[in-house]
Structure 1
Amino acid sequence: MSAAKVVARLPPLPTVRDLVRLYRLRALRQLSQNFLMDQRLIDKIVKVAGRIKCGQVCEVGPGPGGITRAILNRAPERLVVIEKDHRFLPTLEAKACENRMEVIIGDVMGFNMEKCFPEDFRKEWVDEQPNVHLIGNLPFSVSTPLIIKWLEAISERRSAWSYGRVGMTLTFQKEVAERMVAPVTTSQRCRLSIMCQNWCDVRHAFTIPGKAFVPKPDVDVGVVHFIPKVEPIIPLPFKLVEKVVRSIFSFRQKYSIRGAE
């Protein structure tokens, strides 16, 4: 009589909630941190980025690593994570496997991605998008300054965009996300609408309720996907466009008596 076949099963990986408890991590208000615990929503964010299998991914502000795991599950060739808070280093290093993941402790506001990815992933700007992606659940305090900084880099085709029209999947306060996609003539149309839509095709993919985060923020969160345009709508230098748009929207309640020349 043959012996019964025994199938060994590995224990399930710890959840984000388990890791937060294990390392006694606490979201810091001064850094605008909020942990997303719902794995279904985490997977949905990564899905918005598109096909990342065998590609290059840079995750911004991974925190305890919920999105990090979802990215690794989709089998990229390599993942680089940039985290400012040293407390998350143990949880992130625990996910590093087979040299597919690199953890960088630093501030993304000053980080240059010019040589972050392999040379063979570079594409010409007019070609199809490279299999390179930026993904991040951004702290509210840096989300708007960071996207403006990255839009300028897109306009000059530098940093990550020296590799071509690299897409971004990022989180913002819901109201900010709605302004980014606001059409012409709508009440939410603003400086940010024009800046985003001038250099990118922008899509508000879906909204995450605030209750899905710990601690619960006072607002809901919008997931926004950006694809750089081949040519901007206004083919002028970034700083000039930004200055004119900022001036126009400085007095939202005023009337324009004379047209701009």
Structure 2
Amino acid sequence: MVRFSNNVIGLLNFLTFLLSIPILVGGVWLSKQGTTECERWLEKPVIALGVFLMIVSLAGLIGACCRVSWLLWLYLLVMFLLIVLLFAFTIFAFVVTNKGAGETVSGRGYKEYRLGDYSNWLQKRVNNANTWNRIKSCLQSGKVCTEFQTKFLNDTVNEFYSENLSAIQSGCCKPADECHFTYENSTSWTKPVNATLDNPDCSAWDNNPDTLCFNCQSCKAGLLQNLKSDWKKVAIVNIVVLVFLIIIYSIGCCAFRNNRQENWKRY
């Protein structure tokens, strides 16, 4: 029973070490094969995660199985910091995603999204030109609106208005309803003649498939709505991971205590 905690920590870290290998290989593959801004942006975090998991798991594995107390102490310190950071991020995710929701439009199957409805922190992130250019590149390379056009191309105006569009489709692939554009097809709209377009998104719209409403505030809002939904899911998963990490940390503390007791017995 004394060695049980050491064996559990050793086994878990061995599995983590095996997990780090495909993650690291995936990051290296992205760095070599990545052709889009999205893929190039992902490569560094993926490589960093793979290296981090590999180093930490080796420290825990050697510390627990070889009775190297200082390595196990280092492993526990990293685990403690990880628990604190994960807890802080979970609280932060709930706070910054608390505001914002789509607005229901009469006679429409979709909602409209306004950037001002979301938290100031999120607004600042997407209003940064460099950040938005990277995000826009991802949306364009992901062919979000190309698939949108293909799916709804043959819709009549009434059929289109009844479609249940996603937040990004509503914000990036069509003009805002308040612009009162004339519908031709899913990604081709005619601006009203001599109309006063108070909403800057109305001027930003272009029928060019590479432009559409990717420069609109509504597109940024649609992205934040997606982000809000995803972060809330991640926050819930984080709670489960936190419980798991706390259990592992407790077992690790027992293994560390076992190491110290055995070291005392030797002397």
User: TM class, shorter-chain normalised?
Assistant: under 0.3
Larger strand proportion of the pair: 1
Pick the structure with greater CA Rg.
2
Q: Which has the higher helix share?
A: 2
Work out which structure has the larger RCO, using CA pairs closer than 8 Å and 6 or more positions apart in sequence.
2
